[in-house]
Chain A
Amino acid sequence: MRLTAEQRGIARGEAGPLLAKYMNWLVAWGAAMGAERLVPVQSVHAILRTPTTRGCSPRTVDAYIAELRQVCAHRFRCLTTTQVAGAGSNYWKESGASPEEAAFEDELRVLARQAGFQLTRTCTPYLVGNAPLRGETCAWTESSAVVYANSVLGARTTRHGMESALAAALLGVTPAFGEMLDENRRAALQIDVRTRLASVADYGALGFYASAVAKSHLPVFTGIRRMRPEEAKQLCASLPYAESAISMFHAVGITPEAPDLRTACGGRAPRVREVFTPRSLRKVFREMTDLAPGEQVDTVILGCPFASLWEIQQIAEALGGRRTADDVQLWVATSYQTAMDAERLGYAESIRQSGGRLMYDACPGSAGILGARRVVTNSFKQAHHAATVLGSRAAVGSTEACLESARTGRWH
């Protein structure tokens, strides 16, 4: 990789050992990915939270926390928002978090002030002020937000991890490879959508299907007439999770770099073509459903990725004050900012009156939630988390179907 004299100096340790370590990681990572240089970055979405170390030795936890303290002793170089916390700040006990974990999450607020990052604790930074425009260089973590930034916003980021995003925040640069370069933003696989996408969950199913057939191809969707941000969010959340880690898509007539099919494919015809039929849609739902019709449900999770204010309003109105079943926990996950708006507007109170809870800063599927054995959700990503992080059985349905399960305590 070609480095400037200043970058070489930092790598040699002229700005201290911590920056040297992070610079060397960035360079080694970039070189392995085929990058030729480091480019200035305008927006970072970083992982700054307690580690996922439940069950690990205190030594590992302490080392992890000491590292983050050291990082935060430096000043961040650009707009940096942060990923979800290790537990919901208002319901951390329900997530099974320890008081020590909760205490470190508190300490992060102090560190944020010093280092200059915004402790947004969200998987949807684009809903709370970190919303780059077309062409902006970003270094984002959160697999669904990476897809959203590349595809819906037209910004440019690769799939970052904790170390590379922190490096970008500390150094103000990131290696240019993958979707950051024009030639890697061209679609090769056309997926013609020949079925009606009636709910947000249907968009999630389309994402799972595309992830399974895409391999390393970048997909372009045709046949979708319009898409709401909440629907795009589900599509983005599914794409990295089935069989390949997709970081970008085009949707002809909808996303900014796909005015037509040919342009989306870089002036060529797509190399491969697949058709998404009503049968393919049903197949994805069937494969991700572990619950039998009529089977008891103990947990309903909405807000993966974090619910927008519009979604929360709709959930509150759909519940309409009617109680959920006694043995069902209904969770709606969102960011602190959106939760505060929902409080002010009365949606949060309305959800509580129905027996539901608005969790902010984390979601049950990523942080853990006690007592979840049979989970219903409108998100395929959350269903994946249920079957992995939570170790529970799961089913995916529309938001309405989920609320119905919350009321009756059964999967339909």
Chain B
Amino acid sequence: MRPIRMVGKGLVRGQAEGEAVVSRVPLCFRTEYDPATGRVTGLRHPLHGHNLRGKVVIIPSTKGSCGNSVSFGTGCKEGNGPAALVCVRREPLAVLCCVVNNVPLICDVPEKIFAQVATGDRVAVDADVGVVRITRRLTPPAKKHRER
């Protein structure tokens, strides 16, 4: 039995529900995400081609450029931003992205979240209490989601 509820620390308050986009590889919103479309454009990133608009993005952390928050904010202004961000680590730029743009953020979720949630699952995020819940699975739990 796999749990359908994961707990972290809610750092920017708010609730959101949407399709999960999940990657074990950190993402750079400045260089690997296009704010004009919401798509992941980094050719080497496992999420290449995915659109993050309105999605719950689950990643270890942001990485790379200090321009993460500018690009993330531009995406939000264009209506192409994620609905919520869920991270394993507390990276200063991920937190800044969400603080400035009022996007619900949960950090410090256990690493095993990547084995429990797959891209396409529907999840509900409550950042007031730091809980991520799977509301509907895309694939049966027996099928292991693998990247790369």
B-binding residues in A (CB < 8 A)? 25, 28-29, 32-34, 47, 51-57, 59-60, 63-64, 83, 140-143, 146, 158-164, 177-178, 216, 240-245, 384-385, 387-389, 391
Contacts of A389 in B (CB 8 A): 31
Give the shortest distance, in Å, between A158 (CB) and chain B (any CB): 5
- Chain A nearest CB from B24 CB (Å) reads 9
Taking a contact as CB atoms under 8 Å apart, the answer to whether A47 and B70 are in contact is yes
Question: In the complex, are the beta carbons of A243 and B26 less than 8 A apart?
Answer: yes
In this complex, the member of A28, A83, A142 whose beta carbon has the largest number of chain B beta carbons within 10 angstroms is: A28
Given contacts A163-B96, A164-B96, A244-B26, contact A52 B67 (CB under 8 A): yes
Do A159 and B26 form a contact, CB below 8 Å, given A25-B99, A56-B74, A244-B61? Answer: no
Enumerate chain B residues within 8 angstroms of A391, measured Cβ to Cβ. 41, 43
Measured between alpha carbons, how far is A361 from B12 in the docked complex, in Å? 35
A60 vs chain B, min Cβ distance (A)? 5
* Contact of A29 with B64 at beta-carbon distance under 8 Å, contacts A55-B34, A216-B89 already known: no
A160 to B107, CA, bound (A): 18
Q: Does B97 contact A (CB under 8 A)?
A: yes
B30 A47 Cβ-Cβ under 8 A: no
Give Cα distance in the complex from A167 to B112, angstroms. Answer: 36
B44 at the interface (CB under 8 A from A): yes
List 20 other contacts, CB 8 Å, given A162-B67, A240-B64: A28-B12, A29-B95, A53-B74, A59-B77, A60-B74, A140-B66, A146-B66, A159-B66, A160-B66, A160-B92, A161-B68, A161-B100, A162-B69, A162-B70, A178-B92, A242-B63, A245-B61, A384-B64, A387-B42, A388-B44
Task: Kindly identify, within residues 26 to 58 of chain B, every residue whose CB is under 8 Å from any CB belonging to chain A.
Answer: 26, 28, 30-32, 34-37, 41-45
Task: List A contacts of B90 (CB < 8 A).
Answer: 32-34
Q: Is the CB of B78 within 8 A of A161?
A: no
- In-complex Cβ contact of B65 among A34, A143, A177, A178 (8 A): A143
B78-A388 in contact (CB<8A): no
Minimum CB–CB distance from A379 to chain B (whole Å) comes to 14
- The complex places the Cα of A60 from the Cα of B72 at a distance, in Å, of 12
The reply to whether A53 and B35 contact each other, CB–CB distance below 8 Å, is yes
> In whole angstroms, what is the CA distance A115 to B67 when docked?
22
By a CB distance below 8 angstroms, the chain A residues around B21 are none
Most chain A beta-carbon contacts within 10 A, residue among B36, B60, B100: B100
- B62 adjacent to chain A (CB < 8 Å): yes
Find chain A residues with CB under 8 A from B96 CB: 25, 29, 160-161, 163-164
B74 near A161: Cβ-Cβ < 8 Å: no
Report how far A240 CA is from B32 CA in the complex, Å.
14
Residues of A within 8 A of B125 (CB): none
Complex Cα–Cα for A56 and B75 (A): 9
Q: B85: shortest Cβ distance to chain A, in Å?
A: 12
Q: Which of B63, B70, B107 is the one whose CB lies under 8 Å from A240?
A: B63
Determine the distance from Cα of A28 to Cα of B95 in the docked complex, in whole angstroms. 9
Most B CB within 10 A of own CB, among A54, A161, A243: A161
List chain A residues, Cβ under 8 A from B74.
Answer: 51-53, 56, 60, 64
Shortest CB-to-CB span from B63 to chain A, Å, is 4
Q: Which residues of A contact B93 (CB under 8 A)?
A: 159, 161, 245
**A385 x B31 contact (CB < 8 A):** yes
Taking A32-B11, A141-B66, A161-B70 as contacts, is the C-beta distance between A56 and B35 under 8 angstroms? yes
Q: Which of B43, B62, B65, B95 contacts A33 (CB 8 A)?
A: B95
Q: Give the distance to chain A from B144, nearest Cβ to Cβ, in Å.
A: 21
Q: Which A residue sits closest to B70, measured CB to CB? A: A162
B131 within 8 A of A: no
Report the bound CA distance from A158 to B95 in whole Å.
Answer: 12
Tell me, rounded to whole Å, the shortest Cβ–Cβ distance linking A181 to chain B.
13
List, in ascending order, chain B residues with CB within 8 A of A244's CB: 26, 60-61, 63, 89
- A159-B69 contact, Cβ under 8 Å, with A51-B74, A52-B35: no
Asked if B71 lies at the interface with its beta carbon under 8 angstroms from chain A, I say: yes
